[in-house]
Amino acid sequence: MLKKERAHYILKELQRLYPEPPIPLDHKDPYTLLVAVLLSAQCTDERVNQVTPSLWQLADNCVDMASKEVEAIKAIIRPCGLSPQKSKAIKRLSEILIEEHEGQVPADMEALERLPGVGHKTASVVMAQAFGEPAFPVDTHIHRLAQRWGLSNGKNVAQTEKDLKKLFPKEKWNELHLQIIYYGREYCSARGCDGTICPICTTCYPKRKTPKITKKA
């Protein structure tokens, strides 16, 4: 298959498998989504969803969160890892939302990226999932699958994001990044497939006999 043919097949197959992919992080509004995505850095979505109900009991909006002590936030989010940095970021971004954005999460990529603890991927997730703006958040899992499927040879997630955006229709980006994540977890995980096992890998590369070595993000 040529790259465009692979992209077309993958898009159809993922749409068949996951026609309505749910957002994996539990949230109720842009603010709780923003905090949940921040917590998911180097942590599983499952663990974040176990922790956030207690965090929302403490504070589920930027005004209340800004009034809490960092230690109180840190005590709750400790199971998510990196709690010293994440707790400070959650408190400070809450203060900035009040000071600069009238207590609202801005629907603006650059403004989001300026918030503490919020990188490009986190901002992209919020733009896509909270505001429905076209974005293609690329994490290490999508980066790995894009290489296994011959869609990108990027050495980092930034290049992989550019490559995927060129290949797929803009109106599919938000749904597709979730579909790839779900497929990766179910069929093409880091240890569960090496580029020669899962249905998409074997269909795209039926003659591939040796494991696909992927570049780490």
Query: Strand ranges (DSSP E) for the chain?
Result: none
202, 204, 209, 212: CA torsion to nearest 10:
-100
Q: In this structure, is the dihedral angle defined by the CA atoms of residues 16, 192, 41 and 111, taken in order, positive or negative?
A: negative
C-alpha pair distances (Å), 96 with each of 92, 151, 216: 6, 38, 34
Residue 211 lies in a domain: no
Radius of gyration of the chain (CA): 18
152 with 198, same domain: the answer is yes
Catalytic residue (choose from 26, 64, 108, 121): 121
Are 101 and 190 part of one and the same domain?
A: no
pLDDT for residue 214 is more than 90 = no
Rounded Cα distance between 166 and 175, Å, is 16
Provide the number of structural domains found in the chain: 2
> Under a CB-based contact definition with an 8 Å cutoff, are residues 79 and 47 in contact?
yes
Query: Which one of the listed residues 86, 91, 139, 163 is annotated catalytic?
Result: 139
User: Can 108 be counted among the known catalytic residues?
Assistant: no
Residue 66 has pLDDT above 80, yes or no: yes
Residues 6 or more apart whose Cβ sits within 8 Å of residue 44: none
- For 76, the domain range is 30-131
Of 131, 161, 189, the position where a domain reaches its end is 131
Q: Do residue 77 and residue 166 come from a single domain? A: no
Residue 177 within any structural domain of the chain:
yes
The verdict on residue 110 lying in a domain is yes
Predicted local distance difference test score (pLDDT) of residue 140? 87
What are the structure tokens assigned to 153, written together?
């040879």
Based on the fold, state whether residues 7 and 87 are members of the same structural domain.
Answer: no
Per-residue confidence band for 133, with pLDDT thresholds at 50, 70 and 90: very high
The tokens describing 204, both together, are 């795209």
Instruction: Give the mean pLDDT of the chain.
Output: 96
pLDDT of 134-145, one tens digit each? 999 999 889 999
How does DSSP classify residue 23?
P
What percent of the chain is modeled with pLDDT above 90? Answer: 95
The enclosing domain of 103 has a CATH number of 1.10.340.30
Q: What is the DSSP letter of 42?
A: T
With respect to residue 44, please indicate whether it lies within any of the assigned structural domains. yes
> Which of 131, 149, 178 is where one domain is finished?
131
Query: What is the per-residue pLDDT for 215?
Result: 83
Share of the chain above pLDDT 70, in %: 100
Evaluated on CA atoms 76, 78, 79, 81, the torsion sign reads positive
Residues 127, 39, single domain; the answer is yes
Q: What would the mean pLDDT of 53-67 be, rounded to a whole number?
A: 98
9 and 67 both lie in a single domain: no
- Quick one: 7 and 69 in the same domain? no
69 has pLDDT over 80? yes
Instruction: Report the C-alpha gap between 89 and 35 in whole angstroms.
Output: 9
Nearest-10 Cα torsion for 37, 38, 42, 47: -60
Asked if 145 and 106 sit in the same domain, the reply is no
> Residue 217 above 80 pLDDT?
no
Do 68 and 8 sit in the same domain of this protein? no
Active site residue 139: yes
Tens digit of each residue's pLDDT (9 = 90 or more) over 84-114: 999 999 999 999 999 999 999 999 999 999 9
What distance in Å separates the CA atoms of residue 14 and residue 10, rounded to the nearest whole number? 6
Q: Are residues 100 and 179 in the same domain?
A: no
Give the CATH number, domain containing residue 175. 1.10.1670.10
- Tell whether the torsion through CA atoms of 198, 203, 204 and 205 is positive or negative: positive
Residues 121, 59 within the same domain: yes
Do 37 and 123 fall into the same domain?
yes
pLDDT confidence band for 1 (50 / 70 / 90): confident
